[in-house]
Structure 1
Amino acid sequence: MNVLTNCKYKLASCVIAATLLPWQASQAATDIDFIAAVVNDDVIMESELAMELTSVSRELERQQSIVAPADVLREKVLEQLILELLQLQAAERLGVAISETMLNNAMANIAKNNNLTLVQLHQAIVNDGQSIASFREQIQRTMTIDEVGKIAVKRRINISEKEIDQYLSSQQGAALSDTEYLLYHILISVSEQASELQQQVAQQKLSDVQQALAEEGDFSSLAITYSDANNALSGGSLGWRSLSQLPSLFSDTVAQMQVGDISQPLRNNSGYHIIKVADQRGLALQEADQTKANHILVLNNEIRDAQASKALVDEIYERLQKGEEFYKLARSFSDDANTALKGGDMGWLNPGQLPDFMQSQLDILATGSISAPFQGPAGWHILQVSDRQKKNIGENILRNKARDALYESKFAGEMENWMRELRNDAYIEIR
C-alpha cells in the first residue's frame, strides 16, 4: 500500500499530516523551458507548473475527485505557486528558516504517523520514484511557508483582556469544552461593491454549485472546481473546528447542523459561503501539567545576520553558565517583545501552548535548568524552567483557550489580508 499522499495542502503548524504523496512528478525532458510567470525577482517555469499540475491531478485521481477543466486547474495551480513563491520571498526577508533538527523531527513524525521506522520511510520514498533529498526539500518548503505565515500574521493580531472577558461571557465562550466539527467550505467571491455584471456572474456560479449539490455532487470536487478560497485545492477542508474558533457568520449556522448537512449560502463582504459538516466529536478540557518558564530570543534580522545571531546567543549562554541572572540578560538582549521587559517571564504554560520545537525542549528540562541554545524558524532560543505544577481546569486555562479561539477566528481573515497585500505589492507578470 502506498503510504505517501500529497503533503502540499495538508501540512499545518508543525504537525505533519499522517500521509504524504510524492511531490516529484515525472515529466518528459525538454530542450527548452519557458517562463510561466515572473514574481518580483523570481520566475516560475513552465516545467515547474507542469510538475505541479501532474502532482495535483494525480492526487485528485487518487481521491476519485472530479477533476476541474484543464484551463481552470492550470489557473488555480499557477496562482497557488505564485502565492507560495511570495511567501517564500517573505520568509527570506524575515530570516525564517527551518533547521535540520526541525526537518529531521518532521521526517520522524511522518514515519511515526505511518507506523514506519525512518529506514522504512526512506525506502517507501525511493520505491515511489523520489529521492530522499527532494522529499526533504519539499517538506522544508512547506514548513517554511507555514512558519512565515504564522509569524507574519501573529504581528497583525492583538487580543485585549477586555476581548477575552467579552468572549468568555458569550455563547461561544461557554462552548469552549463542547463539540468540534469537521468542516468543508466553498467560497464564491464577490464583494458587496461589485458591479452588476460581477454580481450576475457570481450568482450564476452559486446557482451552478447549488444545482450540483442538489444532485448529490461531491462537495470536495465542487470546491476544487468552483471555490475561490485559498483551500480550494484541498477540497475546501477547514479541518476540525469548535464553534468558538469560527466567525459568528458560520458558528450560528453550524450549531444547528447535523453531520452530512450542507448550509444555505451565507453572505458577507467576501462573497457567498457554503459550509458542510462532515463529522463531529466531543472536546473535553483536561487537567493540565503547567510549566513556569523564562525565554530569551535572538532574532535573525536585516541588521544581525544568522552568524552574528549565533555568536550572540552563544555569548548569552556562556554568561548564564557562569551564573549571571537570566532576568537581567533577557532584559538586555532578548528580542521577544512579549517577555523581554519581564526578564523573559512567560508565566505558567499549558502543554501544547508553545510551538512543537520549543515544547520539546521545555519537556526535557529539569526544574531550575537552562537549555542550550536551539534554533527556530526566526532565530535562536534559550529556555529556563523555574517551576512545574499540576493544575485543575480553571480561569487561567479558560482564558488561554479563549485567547487561542479569538486568535484562530481572526487568523484566516488576517492571513487572507496579508497574502492579498503580498500579491498587490508584488510585480507579477503571467506569460
Structure 2
Amino acid sequence: MKIKLSDYVRPLLLGALFLGAAAQAEVKPLNRVVAIVDNDVIMQSQLDARLREVQQTIAKRGSALPPQNVLSQQVLERLIVENIQLQIGERSGIRITDEELNQALTSIAQRNGMSLEQFRAALKQDGLSYADARDQVRREMIISRVRQRRVAERIQVSDQEVQNFLASDLGKLQLSEEFRLANILIPLPEGASPEAIQAADREVQALYQKLQQGADFAEMAIARSASETALEGGEMGWRKAAQLPPPFDAMVGALSVGEITEPMRTPGGFIMLKLLDKRGGGSQVREEVNVRHILIKPSEIRSEADSKRLAERLYQRIQAGEDFAELAKSFSEDPGSALNGGSLDWIDPGVLVPEFREVMANTASGEVSKPFKSPYGWHVLQVMGRRATDSSAEFREQQALNLLRNRKYDEELQAWLRQIRDEAYVEIKL
C-alpha cells in the first residue's frame, strides 16, 4: 500500500529524501550549490532528490515527462519557495515538538488504516526511511503554520459579505455540487506593461489551442504553469463554485467532466481550469460536536515547556474530580469561551484547526483528552455530545463564512507567495 504523507497537512511534493545509498566503490561527483536563498542554500543533491521523486510521481500518474531542463526549473522554483517559508518559520520561532510530530505521524498511519509499527513497515517496503519521513512531515507542518500566521490570520470576512453571499445565486447553491479541478496559471507581475500582458496572452492562447487539440492538461501544467500545484499536474482538489474567484465561480457549473475553461485574466495572470470530476448535490446532514476546552498559551513570561506542564496539571486535576468549567474560567486563555466554562457549544468540526479536530474526533463523548498542542497553544478538551444536524440558518451562515474565507485565502496565498519570492535574495547557480 502506498503511503501518503500529505494526508495530514496541505500537500507539498515529498522531497526525494528517500533514496538508497549507492555502492561505496561508486565514484560520485562533488555536491554543489544550485541556488542561494537569503541565508540558506539549495544543493544539487536536494534538487536531484526532489527531481527523482517528482519523476516517479508523474510516471505513476501515467503522464509524459516534460524536458529535463523545464522540469528542473519548475522543481528548483518549488524548492526555493519552500526554503523561503522554512526560513520565515525559523525566524518566527515556529517549532514542531516531537510529541506533535508523533501525533501527526500516528494520524497519518490511522488514515491509512495502520498502526504506527505497520506504518513504519509500509514505508520500508516502499523504500522510504521513517526518519526522513518524519523530517519531511515536520517541514510541511512548519510551512502550514507559517501560512496560518502570515496569510490565514489576516483574512477578514464581514457579516454583510456573508449575508450578500447567502442572498446571491451562488450562495443559494452552496450545498450543491463540488468540483475536482486542475489549473494552469501563466503569471503576470504587478504593474505589468502592455507588452508583457500581450506576450502572456499569446502564450496562454497557444496553450489553450494545444489543449483543445488533445494535449495532456497535467503535462502542460507541469511544464508551463506557475501555479503552486503545477508539479501535481495543476490539481487543486475538491472545491465548491463559491470558493473560486470570479468569473470561474459562475463558469464551472456549466462544465462537463473533462472540459476546460477559456483562459481568463485575473490579478495574478491568465488562468485556465479543467473539471476533473464532480460530486454532491441535494441536502446534507453534518455532525456537530458539543465541546469545551481549556487553552494555555506560551508567552514572554511562560515558556512552551511551562505551558505544557500547566496543561498537564489541569488535566490531572480534572481526572481527580475537579470541575472542568471552573478550571476553564480560572485558567483558560481563550477569551471567547473561558467565561462560559470553556464551552464552544455545538460546533462544526470543519471550522476547527486540524490538531484540535483530530483529538476531538478520537475522544469519546463524556471523556477528557490528554493535553495536546495546536498553533494557538496547549489544550485540554472534553466532548459533551455529538449530533447530526441539517443545514440550519446558523449553519448556512458558518458555511458561507468558511467558503468566503477559503476564496480569499487562495487569492491571498498566491499573492503572498509571489511577494516573499520577489523580496527574497535568490541567486540561481544552476
Contact 1:111 1:118 in 2 (8 A): no
SS of equivalent residue, structure 2 residue 59:
helix
Corresponding residue for 1:206? 204
TM-aligned CA distance change 1:94 to 1:230, over 3 Å:
same
Deviations 1:375-396 (A, max 9, x none): 3355311113455555333112
SS of equivalent residue, structure 1 residue 126:
helix
Corresponding residue for 1:179? 177
Of 62, 65, 68, the residue aligned with 1:67 is 65
- Measured after TM superposition, the shift of residue 227 of structure 1 is 0.8
SS of equivalent residue, structure 1 residue 255:
helix
Greater Cα offset, 212-221 or 320-329: 320-329
| Aligned residue runs from structure 1 range 360-379, under 5 A | 360-363=358-361, 365=363, 370-377=368-375, 379=377
Q: Is 1:279 paired with 2:285?
A: no
Give the alignment's Cα RMSD to 1 decimal. 3.2
TM-aligned CA distance change 1:157 to 1:192, over 3 Å:
closer
Corresponding residue for 1:95? 94
Contact 1:26 1:51 in 2 (8 A): no
Of 297, 310, 316, the residue aligned with 1:299 is 297
- Measured after TM superposition, the shift of residue 247 of structure 1 is 1.6
TM-aligned CA distance change 1:6 to 1:200, over 3 Å:
farther
Deviations 1:302-358 (A, max 9, x none): 664321221332344456567776556546654446545665332321244434432
In 1, Cα distance between equivalents of 2:15 and 2:420: 29
- Measured after TM superposition, the shift of residue 369 of structure 1 is 5.1
| Aligned residue runs from structure 1 range 285-324, under 5 A | 285-300=283-298, 304-318=302-316
Corresponding residue for 1:195? 193
- Residues matched between the structures, number: 422
Of 160, 163, 170, the residue aligned with 1:162 is 160
TM-aligned CA distance change 1:94 to 1:21, over 3 Å:
closer
Contact 1:291 1:389 in 2 (8 A): yes
Q: Is 1:148 paired with 2:146?
A: yes
Corresponding residue for 1:231? 229
Contact 1:182 1:280 in 2 (8 A): yes
Corresponding residue for 1:35? 33
In 2, Cα distance between equivalents of 1:31 and 1:16: 32
TM-aligned CA distance change 1:302 to 1:84, over 3 Å:
farther
Deviations 1:248-283 (A, max 9, x none): 321111122111211111112211111111211124
Q: TM-score, normalised by structure 1?
A: 0.85
In 2, Cα distance between equivalents of 1:124 and 1:379: 33
Greater Cα offset, 376-385 or 53-62: 376-385
In 1, Cα distance between equivalents of 2:181 and 2:133: 29
SS of equivalent residue, structure 1 residue 248:
coil
Corresponding residue for 2:414? 416
In 2, Cα distance between equivalents of 1:22 and 1:109: 23
Q: Is 1:24 paired with 2:22?
A: no
Corresponding residue for 1:270? 268
In 2, Cα distance between equivalents of 1:303 and 1:419: 33
In 2, Cα distance between equivalents of 1:423 and 1:224: 19
In 1, Cα distance between equivalents of 2:201 and 2:390: 51
Contact 1:258 1:277 in 2 (8 A): yes
Contact 2:242 2:249 in 1 (8 A): yes
| Structure 2 unmatched runs, 5+ | none
- Measured after TM superposition, the shift of residue 228 of structure 1 is 1.2
In 2, Cα distance between equivalents of 1:50 and 1:302: 42
In 1, Cα distance between equivalents of 2:426 and 2:130: 32
Corresponding residue for 1:104? 105
SS of equivalent residue, structure 1 residue 292:
strand
One-letter code of the match for 1:107? I
Of 343, 354, 357, the residue aligned with 2:355 is 357
Contact 2:9 2:140 in 1 (8 A): no
Q: TM-score, normalised by structure 2?
A: 0.85
Of 51, 54, 67, the residue aligned with 1:53 is 51
* Matched-pair identity in %: 33
| Structure 1 unmatched runs, 5+ | none
Corresponding residue for 1:137? 135
